[in-house]
Amino acid sequence: MSITTWNRLEPVPRSSDMRPQLRAELADPLWSLSRQWQFGEFAGEDAGTPIDVTTTVEVAPVTRYHPGRPGGTAASRASDMDARHLPLEAVVEQRPVVGTMAGVRRRVDGGQHLLRLLAAAGASRAQRSRWVATFPLDLASTPIAHLVPHDPAGAAWLDAAVGRVPDGEAVAATLERLRDDGRPDDLPDELEVPARQLDRIVAAADRWLTWWRADVDEPATDAGGDAWETRRLEYAFAVQARLSDGDVVLHADDYGGGRLDWFEFEADHRQSLGGAGADGRTLVRHAVPTPAYYGGMPADRFWEFEPTTVRFGATTVARTDLTHLLLDEFALGYGTDWFVVPVTLPTGSVAAVRELRVRDVFGVETTIAPTDRDGHGWRMYATSTRLGAAPRVAGLLHLPAVAPAGQEGPAIEEVAWFRDELANLVWAVEERTPGILGGAVERREARRRGLVPGTSQRLDVDVPDIDLVYRLHTAIPEDWHPLVPVVPRGADVGALELELRTVERVDADGMVHASAPLGHLLSLETPLRVAAEEVGREGRRTRLHWQLARAADGTYHSWLSHRVGVGRGEGSSDLAFDVSRPPRTGLR
């Protein structure tokens, strides 16, 4: 039996002050030679400098997309995708626009744009009026009466638009049906289009329909749903690529919106999204390896001036900060041992490095094996694997087809989620809600301006001989909505969900009403439930934004998307029951 150990000889400093050593004062030539010997500049290695690297990479395009977490019917819910025509963020993040206030604004804007195109095509005022009468702006399916007190300017604007512009959504439905039936020239008889103007009017309508289709991206009704999971307050989806050794499914189960990148995914092989797929192709690339550098990197030689970007001598690290110490040790001792070999890959693909051969100046070729041969080691930029996944899906490089850059509009809806330990509730506070004009309405500002009733309960009658007023409970603002903990049916012991409830309020005239959410995220039509662990002590904040980006083919795409961020911690509603307060004193 024997024990093999390795020891590393290092000079022991006589003082804790490193400034004299870092100045590298020159004493005599022999001292200079000794310092070079200490730094290993005279040590020779039995190795040659690499001059050529041959990289064999198998590349497969991502061809399938599945909204939500794949289940037993993953193959039927998944659909084909082409990364060249649509950014992956637009596919994942898009939220429904039809039936929302953003959809109402789009219907009006679409009708206005149609009238402009018809006027440019030579349609008279009377002809344009017939389009308005044939496709009237009907808002019966989108009730807005509850929004009027919060957005009076938007209500006046919408009232002015009714009867003056056609409904863009109704026009698009009619033109789509005519085009699908192969009768794009067969416009409704009510429009009374003259024969001499028919070609120009049809061409204008066709241009308008093309614009309408490309204006907003939203989930298709027959695409198996969307990727947003209200229960988790995040996006979940999966994509698939087909390599020579089988399908690879990349899962993204907790994407909060924003910048989508490779580290959001986990690779697995035990589930397939179906589809024919496209087989991968093998790329063989030759390149000259380049040493890896970073800002402030220590010089290779001792007598070389170094930049002042990073000062390792001034590093102050505690002995318990092991991660920082390991990083400094790696940068100082092994920072010059890394080489970079570039390989150009197409976007929207999955790549697997099959072989890496290095040839040095002596003509010796060496095959470099992966550092994690068993699939459990450390890799730079490699996609993580799920527990129990086969080693063949370890170390894959995923380059998602995301938008290189985009523009984000202001938040048109914002909800703050936080815990109230004293009330044993979770509150969802609508700080911003969509207005009728498509913008945002600040709920607190609306209360301050008196557009909606206040929240303080006061005694209306003047009774000077009483000292206290009894209340069943204190007042809660109209935009605060409680979520109570419930036990889901058939769940494990200890599992909790948060269910959205309403608060009944008593008006000044004695009528009882329940305040409903005004935004799109909080819905009372179906019991909204959120997993209890999703709203921790730090809270959550969800926002709704318009996004604009360009795809790889240069086309523009816009969509509605959620953004999920960290909240501001716990809060308190001061909710109390059976309380007595002085008269004419607000209870909040």
For residue 554, pLDDT beyond 70 = yes
* Residue 511 neighbours by CB under 8 Å, 6+ apart: none
Range from 36-40, 403-407, 440-444 carrying the lowest mean pLDDT: 36-40
* CA–CA separation, 2 and 104 (whole Å): 80
Beta strands in 302-405 (DSSP E): 339-340, 349-360, 365-367, 384-385, 397-399
- Residue indicated by tokens 């086309």: 555
SS3 433: strand
* CA–CA separation, 100 and 519 (whole Å): 9
What pLDDT band is residue 365 in, cutting at 50, 70 and 90? very high
Note the pLDDT of residue 455: 46
Note the pLDDT of residue 143: 67
The pLDDT tens digits for 217-268 are: 877 655 557 889 988 999 999 999 999 888 999 999 999 988 888 999 999 9
Burial class (CB in 10 A: 0-12, 13-18, 19+), 581: middle
What residues form DSSP beta bridges with 238? Answer: 66, 251
For residue 583, pLDDT beyond 70 = no
Q: Quickly count: other Cβ atoms within 10 Å of residue 2's Cβ.
A: 3
Higher local confidence (pLDDT), 445 or 496: 496
Residue burial 288-299, b: 16+ Cβ < 10 Å; e: rest? ebeeeeeeebee
Note the pLDDT of residue 457: 44
The pLDDT tens digits for 56-92 are: 999 999 999 999 899 878 888 888 888 777 889 988 9
Higher local confidence (pLDDT), 104 or 57: 57
Are residues 519 and 508 in contact, defined by beta-carbon separation less than 8 angstroms? no
**Strand duo 281-287 + 50-67: pairing:** antiparallel
Structure tokens at 77: 């819910």
What residues form DSSP beta bridges with 79? Answer: 65
Alpha carbon of residue 55 to chain centroid: 34
For residue 460, pLDDT beyond 50 = no
- Residue indicated by tokens 């496209």: 278
For residue 301, pLDDT beyond 50 = yes
Higher local confidence (pLDDT), 354 or 323: 354
Structure tokens at 400: 């998602």
Alpha carbon of residue 312 to chain centroid: 37
Structure tokens at 534: 């999703």
Range from 30-39, 206-215, 393-402 carrying the lowest mean pLDDT: 30-39
For residue 358, pLDDT beyond 60 = yes
* CA–CA separation, 95 and 490 (whole Å): 30
Range from 51-55, 209-213, 341-345, 486-490 carrying the lowest mean pLDDT: 486-490
Burial class (CB in 10 A: 0-12, 13-18, 19+), 393: buried
Q: Quickly count: other Cβ atoms within 10 Å of residue 426's Cβ.
A: 24
What pLDDT band is residue 458 in, cutting at 50, 70 and 90? very low
For residue 526, pLDDT beyond 90 = no
Alpha carbon of residue 303 to chain centroid: 49
Higher local confidence (pLDDT), 493 or 273: 273
Domain ranges for the chain, please list them: 49-95+222-292+338-402, 101-215, 407-581
The pLDDT tens digits for 418-441 are: 999 888 889 999 999 888 877 888
Range from 297-306, 452-461, 568-577 carrying the lowest mean pLDDT: 452-461
Q: What is the largest CA-CA distance in the chain?
A: 105
Structure tokens at 205: 């309508």
* CA–CA separation, 538 and 518 (whole Å): 25
What pLDDT band is residue 517 in, cutting at 50, 70 and 90? confident
Note the pLDDT of residue 456: 42
Note the pLDDT of residue 57: 94
The average pLDDT across 529-538 equals 91
* CA–CA separation, 156 and 153 (whole Å): 5
Structure tokens at 344: 């150009």
Alpha carbon of residue 125 to chain centroid: 46
Are residues 561 and 218 in contact, defined by beta-carbon separation less than 8 angstroms? no
* CA–CA separation, 232 and 244 (whole Å): 35
The pLDDT tens digits for 150-171 are: 778 888 888 888 889 999 989 9
Find the length of the chain. Answer: 588
Q: What percent of the chain has pLDDT over 90?
A: 27
Range from 386-400, 446-460, 532-546 carrying the lowest mean pLDDT: 446-460
Alpha carbon of residue 287 to chain centroid: 36
Range from 118-127, 446-455, 462-471 carrying the lowest mean pLDDT: 446-455
* Residue 162 neighbours by CB under 8 Å, 6+ apart: 136, 137, 139
Note the pLDDT of residue 459: 41
Note the pLDDT of residue 565: 92
Note the pLDDT of residue 513: 72
Nearest to 419 by CA among 427, 429, 431, 411: 427
Half-sphere exposure of 579 (CA within 13 A, CB side): 15
For residue 135, pLDDT beyond 50 = yes
Note the pLDDT of residue 586: 45
Q: Which strand (E) or helix (H) includes residue 55?
A: strand 50-67
Note the pLDDT of residue 355: 92
What pLDDT band is residue 454 in, cutting at 50, 70 and 90? very low
For residue 588, pLDDT beyond 50 = no
What pLDDT band is residue 564 in, cutting at 50, 70 and 90? very high
The pLDDT tens digits for 200-214 are: 999 999 999 999 988
Structure tokens at 552: 């790889």
Note the pLDDT of residue 192: 86
